[in-house]
Every structure is written in C-alpha cells, then in structure tokens.
Amino acid sequence: MVFEYVKALHIIFVVTWFAGLFYVVRLFIYQTEALEKPEEEKKILVPHLNLMARRLWFGITWPSAILTLIFGFWVLYHRWGYMQLGFMHAKLGFVLLLYVYHFICQRQFSELQRGIAKWSSNQLRIWNEGATVLLFAIVFLIVLKSLINTFWGIIGLLGLSALLMLGIQLYKKSRAKS
C-alpha cells in the first residue's frame, strides 16, 4: 500500500518539475527580450520577470527536482528487478540528461538574474523543446518497458523534434510579420 503512495508522489513531482522547467525557460525568453527593450520598459520588466523566475525556480522547480529524485529512488528500491531490464537503463540515462538540462537551466537562470543574456530568445525557444523530447522519451520507456518499442518511439521523437523545429521557425516568421 505504501508503494502506491510513493509512486503517486513520484509522478506528481515529475509533473510539477516539468511544469517548472517548461515555464522557467519561457520566462528566460521574456527576460532576454526584456533586456533588449528601451531603458524605461527594461526598468519595469526586468525586476518583475526576475522575481517571477526566482519564485518559480526556487519555489517549485528545484524542490520538485529534488523530490522527484528522492521518490524515484524509493520507487526503484521497490522495483529493483527492473534494473535487470534494458529499458530501465535507457530511462535512467534520459533522466540523467534531464538533470543535465536542469543544471544548464540553473546556469542560465543565474546569468539572467545578473542581467546577462548569452542565448537569444530564439535559441531559448529551441532549448525549451529539449525538455519536451526528454519527457516523451522517459514516458514511453516507462510505459512500454521495451527497448524495441522505444526504438520506434525514438524515431517518432525525431519526427516530433523536426515538427517542433518547423513550428518554431513558422512562429518566428509570423512574429516577424507582425
């Protein structure tokens, strides 16, 4: 009975972590664009966006990442037999990539809090899709529990990535027209 609660909490914190990652990168885009505004607008937007990013990052995203890890290890402890299966190694590899993604976001967060924008808003839009691709990979692996089916899922992910890139380019063109 306890295991079901642990698994539910793991899933809940995965969802809130991804929500934080998706939204914080969106805030990075807004922060980057605010830094390019005239001084009068910049003076208003930058502190407000910095506050929003800080509250999201430290109030939701970081705690969710930590709790996801804690409950994830707890779930794995109860399902240790999964470690004998290749899909779990692949899933944990994607989870490791997600934490790398998170730490790169941490670096970007810190730089933007200091008013340094090293990436363009378009680069950040593309970066934001990285979390989407990782989400798809992790969910398909854990649900299908098969590397063969996951192979086809990865082919689908590549297709999804191509569509996301096309969508970003179309969005960029539509913004340039308006």
- What pTM does this model have? 0.85
Instruction: Compute the residue count for the chain.
Output: 178
Q: How many CB atoms lie within 10 A of CB 138?
A: 20
- What is the rounded average pLDDT for all residues in the chain? 90
Give CA–CA dist 154/40, Å, rounded.
47
Do 23 and 131 contact (CB within 8 A), yes or no? no
- Chain segment 17-35, per-residue pLDDT in tens: 999 999 999 999 999 999 9
Q: Comparing C-alpha atoms, which of 102, 101, 124, 166 is closest to residue 35?
A: 124
- Chain segment 80-137, per-residue pLDDT in tens: 877 787 778 888 999 999 999 999 999 999 999 999 999 999 899 989 989 988 998 8
Residues contacting residue 121 through CB under 8 Å, at least 6 positions apart: 29, 32, 33
- Chain segment 111-124, per-residue pLDDT in tens: 999 999 999 998 99
Any idea what DSSP says for residue 114?
A: T
Give CA–CA dist 35/131, Å, rounded.
24
Confidence (pLDDT) at 175: 78
Confidence (pLDDT) at 92: 92
Residue ranges for the known binding site for heme are: 10, 91
Confidence (pLDDT) at 120: 95
Residue ranges for the known binding site are: 10, 91
